[in-house]
Amino acid sequence: MSALPGIDPFGAEPAHPPGPPDPRTRRTDRWWLAPLLTATGLGLFLVYGLIRTFMNTAYWVPEHHYLAPFYSPCLSAACVPGSSHWGQPFPALGPLLPPPVFVLPFVFGFRLTCYYYRKAYYRSFWLSPPACAVAEPHRTYTGETRLPLVLQNFHRYFFYAALLVAGVLTYDTAIAFRGADGGFGVGLGTLLMVVNVLLLWAYTLSCHSCRHLVGGRINHFSQHPVRYWLWTKVTAMNARHMQLAWASLISVALVDLYVLLLASGAFPDPRLFN
């Protein structure tokens, strides 16, 4: 069947004429937009994280028991009174080594080696490749077989550290339900912390390493019904791993910023109860 120029014979809408092709690819869409937005989002989080880490202040709200995620758990002798729920096994090492340096490397390592984040920063920062069907500027490709990318294999070990940190943040959220008089209380900060910890658990448990842990090395799922059920649930979450990665990243920054503003006296925490 012949078709008139510019007319889609299988649809009612006219076909849009292709724009001028990019010299590096035949794609005519804005393929560069996704890596640009990814680089912007990750870059903003990194800048905020560095500034927040070395601020070393305004991370504990004693009247509501709010502890900023970037400082949890606070394990240094430099931590302000009341913020160290798990003791202070590390000494104060000065302004260049604030309390978060004892925990953030493990959290950062988990996200840095995450399968989704690898794709994100490979494309947005290294342009390897910047998008599908777009040539990359690198002449050689060695994969993840040499330093430093061979360290990506440590992702499975960072996963266990991430589980511990998620558990600690869950405890922080539980004690944030204390009221001003020591009883039960709920504020806006409490609700934000609940949402944050739920997103963190969803992101952590949707990890590919978790999926392999619950369902790997099994030849017959029929002989392991419990592990098969867990595998199906993790697999369903794994399909949303990218969305959970971004949602949990944003929630961590927002909760940390909220605690920073409260601790700085910018405004009081709106209370629902007590």
CB atoms within 10 A of CB 225: 9
Residue 64: predicted pLDDT:
94
Please check whether residue 74 lies inside any domain of the structure.
Answer: yes
Distance CA 199, CA 245 (A): 9
Sequence-distant (≥ 6) Cβ neighbours of residue 196 within 8 angstroms = 69, 169, 173, 248, 251, 252, 254, 255
Please check whether residue 120 lies inside any domain of the structure.
Answer: yes
Evaluate if residue 12 carries a pLDDT over 50. Answer: no
Please check whether residue 9 lies inside any domain of the structure.
Answer: no
* Per-residue pLDDT tens digits for 205-227: 999 999 999 998 888 999 999 99
Distance CA 134, CA 246 (A): 24
**Lowest mean pLDDT across 16-30, 153-167, 238-252:** 16-30
Distance CA 257, CA 193 (A): 12
Please check whether residue 110 lies inside any domain of the structure.
Answer: yes
Please check whether residue 162 lies inside any domain of the structure.
Answer: yes
- Domain span at residue 201? 33-273
* Per-residue pLDDT tens digits for 141-164: 888 888 888 999 999 999 999 999
* Per-residue pLDDT tens digits for 85-133: 999 999 999 999 999 999 999 999 999 999 999 999 999 999 998 998 8
Residue 137: predicted pLDDT:
83
Token pair recorded at residue 205? 């448990």
Tell me the average pLDDT of the chain.
90
Please check whether residue 164 lies inside any domain of the structure.
Answer: yes
Helix count and strand count (H, E) for the chain: 8, 4
Instruction: Identify the band that residue 20 occupies on the pLDDT scale cut at 50, 70 and 90.
Output: low
For tokens 């266990």, name the residue: 160
Residue 70: predicted pLDDT:
97
* Per-residue pLDDT tens digits for 33-46: 999 999 999 999 99
Evaluate if residue 71 carries a pLDDT over 80. Answer: yes
Domain count, the chain: 1
Residue 61: predicted pLDDT:
96
Alpha helices (H) along 144-187: 155-175
